[in-house]
Amino acid sequence: MEYRIGVIRGDGIGPEIIEEAVKVLDAAAHRFGHKFNYSELLLGGASIDAHGVPLTDEALADAESCDAVIMGSIGGDTGTSPWYRLEPSRRPEAGLLRMRKELNLFANLRPAYLFDELKAACPIKEELIGSEGFDMVIVRELTGGLYFGERHTSEVDGVMTAVDTLEYNADEIRRTAVKAFEIAMKRDKKITSVDKANVLDSSRLWRRTVEEVAKDYPEVSLEHMLVDNCAMQLVSEPSQFDVILTENMFGDILSDEASMITGSIGMLSSASLNDTSFGLYEPSHGSAPDIAGKGIANPLATILSAAMMLKYSLNLDKEARCIEAAVKKALKAGYRTPDIARKGEKGIGTSEMGNLVAEALSTCSV
Ligand code: IPM
Ligand code: MG
């Protein structure tokens, strides 16, 4: 089959890690007889440099016309990059938020699991992790809440005041909950819905709506957890979680925490989905400007995001599993980029890791 894939190289280490994901996608295409046609799109700092805005209408329309989009990471050093001297609506992140909103990418999936091969990198004591390790996916609402509520800053009686609004309607909650329940059905059938219902009205509506959705999924067990407790449980007993369902801001914070306990944020993929098969796929980590251009960034999160893209948007399950198996093979053979290297080891470079995964793919049979 032939597919059209949007490619956003992005900023910082983005171009380096995307290069490897494309390499691996091409190896998968070759192995299974598909053709991926790539359409290069600009988003973030690269788009500001070229066009003065973080996302042009043309790039947005182009993204929408693709079967799926894969992205490196965007943004720069907020302290030193000139992009951060622009007003907030013209900065790199504003382009990403606009793309999420305009393409209606309301469900953000962020898996966090412990690779057997990387157990030593997990910062949590072995007795707390348990022998099974952990394997969870965070389903984060992505187009509502504090990120998109009304905001303004004003001066009242000589005192600066800033307002951000946290607003959700039941439809926004419901559609995200449905995605989470559908995913739970294919996993261990357990959902932890995370909110702050002891304080926030929006959380009380969240809870009520999630309970309504749960009625359609009697096989899935649902529990509610307050966000502060969840932050604690993630580091004290991570194996209790299967699917975590939560709103935009809580999901942003908890997904960083969840990724840290896997040992390296350089390993985690993510998908942002709407109610069609289209999706935007990107690593969970940022653009790491401090190591950009050095050829040492870990491309595995982006490669695994490419696998998610094959699975969720292109319906190429076997191909996706082959990429995952190829990543495992490289890790099992002991190859590590510096971020996951064992003490005293130097590790291999970005493109070397990409080559290893691509090579492993050529013989994969799952
Ligand atoms: C993320 C990032 C973004 C977010 C930023 C870059 C706007 O932290 O994808 O988690 O907060 O959603
Ligand atoms: Mg974040």
pLDDT digits (tens, 9 = 90+) for 226-279: 999 999 999 999 999 999 999 999 999 999 999 889 988 889 999 999 999 999
Nearest CA to ligand 1 atom 4: 252
Average pLDDT over residues 197-202: 98
pLDDT for 364 equals: 82
Q: Is the pTM of this model over 0.85?
A: yes
Please tell me the distance from the alpha carbon of residue 198 to that of residue 204, in angstroms, as a whole number. 8
Give the least confident one: 2-6, 77-81, 263-267, 291-295.
263-267
**Which atom from ligand 1 is nearest to the alpha carbon of 255?**
10
pLDDT for 36 equals: 98
Instruction: Take residue 44 and report the two structure tokens written for it.
Output: 């973030």
Q: Residue 341 has what DSSP assignment? A: P
**Cβ pair 213, 143 in contact under 8 A:** no
Average pLDDT over residues 172-180: 98
Mutation probe of ligand 1 site: the residue of 81, 91, 93, 105 with most atoms within 8 A of C-beta: 93
Residue 252 Cα to ligand 1 midpoint, Å, equals 7
| Interaxial angle between packed helices 14-32 and 300-312, expressed in degrees from 0 to 180 and rounded to the nearest 10 | 50
Q: Which of 364, 308, 297 is nearest to 336 (CA)?
A: 297
Terminal alpha carbon distance of the chain: 19
B/e letters for 73-109, b = 16+ CB within 10 Å, e = fewer, are bbbbeeeebebbebeeeebbbbbbbbbbeebbbbbbb
Please tell me the distance from the alpha carbon of residue 311 to that of residue 79, in angstroms, as a whole number. 38
Please tell me the distance from the alpha carbon of residue 24 to that of residue 364, in angstroms, as a whole number. 12
Q: What is the mean pLDDT of the chain?
A: 96
Ligand nearest to the CA of 256: 2
Residues with Cβ within 6 A of ligand 1? 75, 93, 96, 252
Q: What is the dihedral of CA 43, 44, 45, 50, to 10 degrees?
A: 30
pLDDT for 117 equals: 84
Nearest CA to ligand 1 atom 1: 252
Question: Is the model more confident about 205 or about 156?
Answer: 205
Nearest CA to ligand 1 atom 5: 93
Q: How much of the chain exceeds pLDDT 90, in percent?
A: 88
Ligand nearest to the CA of 142: 1
Please tell me the distance from the alpha carbon of residue 305 to that of residue 284, in angstroms, as a whole number. 9
Bridge partners, 36 (sequence order)? 3
pLDDT digits (tens, 9 = 90+) for 70-79: 999 999 999 9
218 pLDDT above the threshold of 80: yes
Residue 257 Cα to ligand 2 midpoint, Å, equals 10
Ligand nearest to the CA of 75: 1
Nearest CA to ligand 1 atom 2: 252
Predicted confidence band at 280 (pLDDT cuts at 50, 70, 90)?
A: very high
366 pLDDT above the threshold of 80: no
Bridge partners, 194 (sequence order)? 225, 246
Average pLDDT over residues 165-188: 97
Predicted confidence band at 130 (pLDDT cuts at 50, 70, 90)?
A: confident
pLDDT digits (tens, 9 = 90+) for 21-45: 999 999 999 999 999 999 999 999 9
Active site members:
147, 196, 228, 252, 256
Predicted confidence band at 120 (pLDDT cuts at 50, 70, 90)?
A: confident
